[in-house]
Structure 1
Amino acid sequence: MIRRLFSALGSEYDRALRRLLGWFTVAALLQGTAFVLLVPVLRELLGGEPDRAWPWVIALAALWIGYAAVNYPATLAGYRTGADLSRYLHHRIGDKVAQLPLAWFTPDRVGGLGRLASQRVVDIMGVPAHLLRQLVDTFVTPLVVVLAMFLFDWRVAVSMAVAAVAVAVAYRAVGRGMQAADRNADRIHADAAGRIVEFARAQPVLRAFGRTVDGHAALDEALTAQHASGRGMLRAGMPALVGLGFIAQASFIVLLALGTYLALDGSLGTAELIGLLVLAARFVEPVMLTAELGGAIRVAENALTEINTLLVTETLPEPQVTRRANGADIELDGVSFGYDGDAVLKGLSMRVPQGRMTALVGPSGAGKTTVIKLIARFFDPDAGTVRVGGVDVREMRTEDLTSVISVVFQDVYLFDGTILDNVRVGRPDATDEEVYAAARTARVDDIAGRLPGGWEAPVGEGGSRLSGGERQRISIARALLKDTPIVLLDEATAALDADNEHALRQAVAALARERTVLTIAHRLQTIRDADQIVVLADGAAAETGTHDELLAADGHYARYWRERSRAAGWRLTRRDTFLRQSSPTGTA
């Protein structure tokens, strides 16, 4: 466990952790040596000349004073390190999560990550203050006692060494059972956490379909499994823990019987017997305490293993020497990419000219959003190259790439703060006037005027107090505030009404006059206004050109345009108690 702790904390905590281990080791050595000195003290006191015990008594007192002097700062250091460890681990986990590729964040991992950053860190907090000291005492103090035994009676020493081996074997058996049970419980707890979040988020759907009673069967099953896993940990751990305690107690009884036999045989004095039995008791005590804490120790070991697994997860490599974009054009050259072995892009090659608006169209699942994520380097392509400003994005540091790109996704997440706080995310060092200007351009001032508190109105967790269109407006305001030469829009106006869409289309048009804009859109007007249109089909760019050029070609785009044009005028009408679709001309 100590190796895992060093790995989880990294090199920055090496010195502090080694110093803490040093304090605990010195305290255990002093304590063990003090117990050893009880043998000569008792031998002299029960012998014919008690005055000869004074030097041993003085030495014993000096050792206990030294132990007290070391024990106090060691205890304080343990608690202080535990508190610092919690804060440091949260920072390391947060920094690592920020570096992980987007493909890592599957639903099951998100639930596990929540448990890792909360319960698992708490499991580790007790290691420096309690468990680490207990581990040191368990190994160092009995080792001192066993070695000291050889100075007084080798037969008792050998017996104690054999008992130590038996205890170590039992302890490993305890560890294997508890580790397996805890891993299974952790997987089930993560699934239950995900089900709880899913149940909360799905309330509108469940209530709309009258599933308020039986709609949470999956959650019930997850919670039942969680309860069963807790019982499983008890079943796995208790027999082994009881067995470890039994072996420790049996070892003491054997040592007691052996010592008594040797004393009756005359080969061991009464004073030595009493002293050696004191040492035997001190040998058994930390082992018994370890048996009681064995489950906590194994849980902490599993927690450290899980955190280390996260920390060593492969991230997107960062170049040692970064290159900066020379311009604002975008190029994908022979790019292939897939999810879980299913290919989405197959040798895609396309170019987004600088200072122009390019629309990306195609059927659902064609890879339009994947293209934007590859440009923003949320993950790397399986093959091919993505260039921004003539530079491979893999040759640019993350901060250099993000400094030239703004991304607006269809699904917008807002932080639990005010309207202004969420707009300012785009550029935290912006002045208030710059924030207000970007917000007004995106029509966020309408939202501020509607809500109590105005610009300081809280948006709720995830933006729950706002509509989908209002959240998108704030997201677009962020992009406007960031003021980058490249803007990527993924259905940014999908949830807006006609009035706000018109205002935002004007804002996007203003951006396009000075910036490179790549937009994914199905709205006819957005497509028509684009300087260039790229049609994705079968993982590649099937067609590229302007609106008029692609219509004249009468290919994928022309069919797509005709379908959209027909659907644009459809509406539902009622005739003879039937709902029918009407054509743009109004005839059913």
Structure 2
Amino acid sequence: MIRALATALGPAHAAPLRRLLVLTAAAAAAQGLAYALLVPLLYAVLGSRPAGALPWLAAFAAAVAGYGALTWSAQTRAFRLGSDVARALHHRLGEKIIELPLGWFSPARTGQLSRLAGQSVPQLMNVPAHLLRPVVTAAITPAVVAVTLLVVEPRLGAAVAVTVPLLAVVLRAADRAVARADADRHRRADEVAARLVEFAQAQPVLRAYGRTAREHRLLDDALVAQAAADRAMLRHVIPALTGFGFAVRALLGGVLLAGTNLVLGGSLDVPVLLAVLVLTVRLTEPLGTAAEYGAALRLANGRLSTLDDVLTAATLPAPDQPRTPRSAEVVLDDVHFGYDGRPVLAGVSFTLPERGMTALVGPSGAGKSTVARLLARFWDVDAGAIRIGGVDVRQMATADLMSRVAFVFQDVYLFDGTLAGNIRLGRADATDEEVRAAAAAAGLGDLLDRLDDPVGEGGTALSGGQRQRVSIARALLKNAPIVVLDEATAALDPETAAAVQTAVHALARRTTLLVIAHRLETVRAADQILVLRDGVITERGRHDDLVGAGGTYASFWHDRTAAEGWRLVG
């Protein structure tokens, strides 16, 4: 556990953790030494010459003073290190998050990360601050006392020395029971966290269809499963901890009975028996708390294991010598890709020319958004290559790739800040005038006097169409040489969509523009249209040519034209 925590903290904080461990062990040894000195002290006090106890009393006082000084120093360091642990783990988690491929993130992972940052890290903070000292004491102090017992009264000492390893076995079994139950409980808690986030975000839809919490089956099932996991944990933990506590107290009772029998038989002096009983009590006391703190440490170890899974998650390989593209032309060369063994793209090849608009259309699930995400290197292709200006995106530095590409995806997230602040995410150093110009070009002219207003968490103060226009404004403000619009006009009203179309055509004259859309009016003026179906490009050309060819695109177009002929009358 300590080694794993030191690894998770990194070299800068691992050394203070090890120093704390040594200091805590020294304090526990000093405590054990103080207990050991009670034997000659009590023997002298209860003997015929009580004055002979003074040297032992001085030695006992020195041991207690040393224990006090070491404990104070260790505990002070422990509290300070606990704060450092929380800060270091949050920083490492944040640094890892920005290194992970964007395809790693999912709703389930979002719930897991929320629990890691909000619950697991504070629990791990308790390891040095509150758990380390009692656990180390439970291991070292009884060992010192057991050795003293062997010296003072070998017969009883041998009995204790044999019993302590058995107690360790019982404790280990208890810890394993806790670990098994906690692992399942942890998984269930992650599921509940993800479902709660989903439930909160889906309130407009659920209420529109009259769905209540009871009728939201996914959340209800997750909560029931977590409750079952909690009960299972209690069924495993309570018997284990109770059994260990009984075994510890049985050890004390056994020593008392055996010692009394030896005294009655005349082979053991009463002062020695009293000293042995004092030592045994001092031995069993930290052992009695070992189960409780050991279980807490085991739970913390489960949290650390989950954190380690995130910290060690595979990142996309970075090039040793990054290359810089010489242009903004994008080429997909025989690209193959799939999710979890399910093929999505099977040999896709096309070119996105500079200063031109390319439209990618096709049925739902054909892999259009996957193409955009591969260009952003959410994942690496399974085979083939994606090149920008002749350079494979895998040979580009991540920061360089992101600086060259601007994206507007279907799912838009706004931060809990001002409207201007969310637009400025496209370029942090943009002036106020540049922000206003981007907002106007994206069809946000009706909100120009509200740029300093808060948008709420997730942009709840704006409509869906307004949030999408903010995302378009970000892309315009970024002024990247490559722009990808994935259903950028899906949630826009016709008037705003027309304004955005004007901005799109302006973009096409100065950028490499890829537009993915189901609304074919958006792509009609494209320089080239690509039809993606069954993982391959089946058609390519301009609008009029593809309509005349009578293929998939023509079918889409005729269906759209027919749908536009419908009118609601009343």
TM-score of the aligned structures, taking structure 2 as reference length: 0.95
Q: Aligned-pair distance for 1:171?
A: 0.7
Residue 485 of structure 2: aligned partner: 489
Corresponding letter in the other structure for 1:337? F
Name which of structure 1's ranges 313-322 and 481-490 shifts more when overlaid on structure 2.
Answer: 313-322
Residue 474 of structure 2: aligned partner: 478
Residue 512 of structure 1: aligned partner: 508
Residue 567 of structure 1: aligned partner: 563
Deviations 1:420-478 (A, max 9, x none): 111111122333333233223223342243xxxx2221111111111111001111111
Residue 313 of structure 2: aligned partner: 313
Q: How well do the aligned residues superpose, as a CA RMSD in angstroms?
A: 2.0
Instruction: Map 1:173-252 onto structure 2 (within 5 A).
Output: 173-212=173-212, 215-252=215-252
- Partners of 1:354 and 1:516 within 8 A in 2: yes
Instruction: Map 1:326-405 onto structure 2 (within 5 A).
Output: 326-405=326-405
CA shift in 2, pair 1:120/1:544, >3 Å? same
Deviations 1:129-169 (A, max 9, x none): 11111111111111111222233233222212212111111
Cα separation, 1, equivalents of 2:239 and 2:195: 32
Residue 579 of structure 1: aligned partner: none
Residue 499 of structure 1: aligned partner: 495
- SS of the aligned residue for 1:514 comes to coil
Percent identical residues: 52
CA shift in 2, pair 1:33/1:78, >3 Å? same
- SS of the aligned residue for 1:415 comes to coil
CA shift in 2, pair 1:154/1:431, >3 Å? farther
Q: Is it true that 1:537 corresponds to 2:533 in the alignment?
A: yes
Cα separation, 1, equivalents of 2:451 and 2:505: 26
Q: Aligned-pair distance for 1:217?
A: 4.1
- SS of the aligned residue for 2:568 comes to strand
Cα separation, 2, equivalents of 1:543 and 1:221: 46
- Partners of 2:78 and 2:130 within 8 A in 1: yes
Instruction: Map 1:570-585 onto structure 2 (within 5 A).
Output: 570-573=566-569
Corresponding letter in the other structure for 1:484? A
Q: Is it true that 1:24 corresponds to 2:24 in the alignment?
A: yes
- SS of the aligned residue for 1:384 comes to strand
- SS of the aligned residue for 1:293 comes to helix
Q: Aligned-pair distance for 1:257?
A: 2.4
Residue 53 of structure 1: aligned partner: 53
| Matched pairs, number | 570
Q: Aligned-pair distance for 1:266?
A: 4.2
Residue 414 of structure 2: aligned partner: 414
Q: Which runs of 4+ in 1 moved over 4 A?
A: none
Deviations 1:54-112 (A, max 9, x none): 22221221121122212112112112222221222222222223333344333333323
Cα separation, 2, equivalents of 1:296 and 1:524: 59
Cα separation, 2, equivalents of 1:277 and 1:212: 63
Cα separation, 2, equivalents of 1:108 and 1:491: 25
Cα separation, 1, equivalents of 2:549 and 2:209: 46
- Partners of 1:419 and 1:448 within 8 A in 2: no
Q: Is it true that 1:270 corresponds to 2:270 in the alignment?
A: yes
Residue 65 of structure 2: aligned partner: 65
CA shift in 2, pair 1:563/1:224, >3 Å? closer
Cα separation, 2, equivalents of 1:429 and 1:29: 59
Q: Aligned-pair distance for 1:566?
A: 3.0
Corresponding letter in the other structure for 2:244? L
Cα separation, 1, equivalents of 2:421 and 2:470: 10
CA shift in 2, pair 1:181/1:437, >3 Å? same
Corresponding letter in the other structure for 1:504? V
Cα separation, 2, equivalents of 1:468 and 1:218: 25
Residue 585 of structure 1: aligned partner: none
Residue 434 of structure 2: aligned partner: 434
Q: Aligned-pair distance for 1:383?
A: 1.5
Cα separation, 1, equivalents of 2:249 and 2:499: 81
2:554 to 552, 558, 569: 558
Cα separation, 1, equivalents of 2:503 and 2:218: 45
- SS of the aligned residue for 1:425 comes to helix
Cα separation, 2, equivalents of 1:213 and 1:15: 49
- Partners of 1:166 and 1:247 within 8 A in 2: no
Residue 293 of structure 2: aligned partner: 293
